[in-house]
Amino acid sequence: MNVPGPDRHALVTGGGGFIGSHLVETLLRLDCRVRVLDDFSTGRRANLPDDPRLEIQEGSVADLDAVGRAAAGATMIFHLAAIASVGRSIADPRGTHRVNYGGTVAVLEAARRWKVPRTVIASSAAVYGDADAALRRETDETHPLSPYAVDKLASEAICDFYRDMHDIRCAALRFFNVFGPRQDPASDYSGVVSIFLDHAARNAAPTIYGDGEQTRDFVHVTDVADALVAAASVPWMPEFGAVNIGSGKATSIRGLWREIATLTGATATPKRASARSGDIRRSRADISRAADLLGWRPQVDLAAGLADMMEARDGRRQTAAVR
């Protein structure tokens, strides 16, 4: 693996966000210079370390000029900036399209302009839709159920176009349900894990939509950061394209709450609500392609990841108490 180092200069769009900030930390640990482009509409400057190797540029990924300036001198681009909300994409498809698809085009144009050696874009398991398959493989048909998922699939397609037409070395990683420290349970973009943990800490009843037997593949954010680095570092192969990044294990929403309640001692009984539009019934990743192409396998299981989140939360509370 061609691991990043001091001669490497990475651009991370959305670097102030949940996944982006963990990727920034990983890159800095590898002694890579990092530039972050973020409009901080959902990301936070507080997520980013104070490090002389880190440069922050405030701007939108939908702004072609801002992306072009940020990409100058980069040897790798990680495109994570997005409006990662199915509900918001349904309510405002035009606005989310401008960021989610338009931002990808802006990044690829910048990669072409500056001849960036490797670009990695964040896609989503949402592209698979609700096909009746126990295991999601990259070769499966796609059936996006929301404008967000449509934009992610279109981003993969335009990545393929730039690879074939302009020889841009671009790979798309299909993230499944990413969880870990820094997920904000109050955010519209937060995952169910952080929301459930927040409710458990207050012994408050969470809401489970539908029957709760829908399954998700939960993958820890540090494993996702490692996968991103691997995709930018391994020798280039034309057969790249989309790659699943998940744990390879399925957990039901109801089962997730049971595990969190056991871990925290919460006794609240979840409330029930109607299934939400655009929600997927079953989701579990086949991660064999990630192992074959990237040499990547997840290292943090769900139980360890939940404990990690609780420890990080308790640490924040202790710090607040001291102050």
As annotated, the active-site residues are 148
Q: How far apart are the C-alpha atoms of 127 and 125, rounded to whole Å?
A: 5
Question: Rounded to whole angstroms, how far apart are CA atoms 178 and 160?
Answer: 24
Q: What share of the chain is helix, strand, coil (3-state, %, to 5)?
A: 40, 15, 40
Report helix angle 302-322 to 192-201, nearest 10.
50
Cα–chain-centroid distance for residue 140? 21
Cα–Cα distance measured from residue 122 to residue 155, given in angstroms and rounded to the nearest whole number: 9
Report the distance separating Cα 263 and Cα 130, nearest Å.
31
What is the amino acid identity at position 190?
A: S
Contact (CB, 8 A) for 70 and 15:
no
Please give the Cα distance from 156 to 124 (Å, whole number): 10
DSSP secondary structure, 290-321, as one string: IIIII-------HHHHHHHHHHHHHHHHHHHH
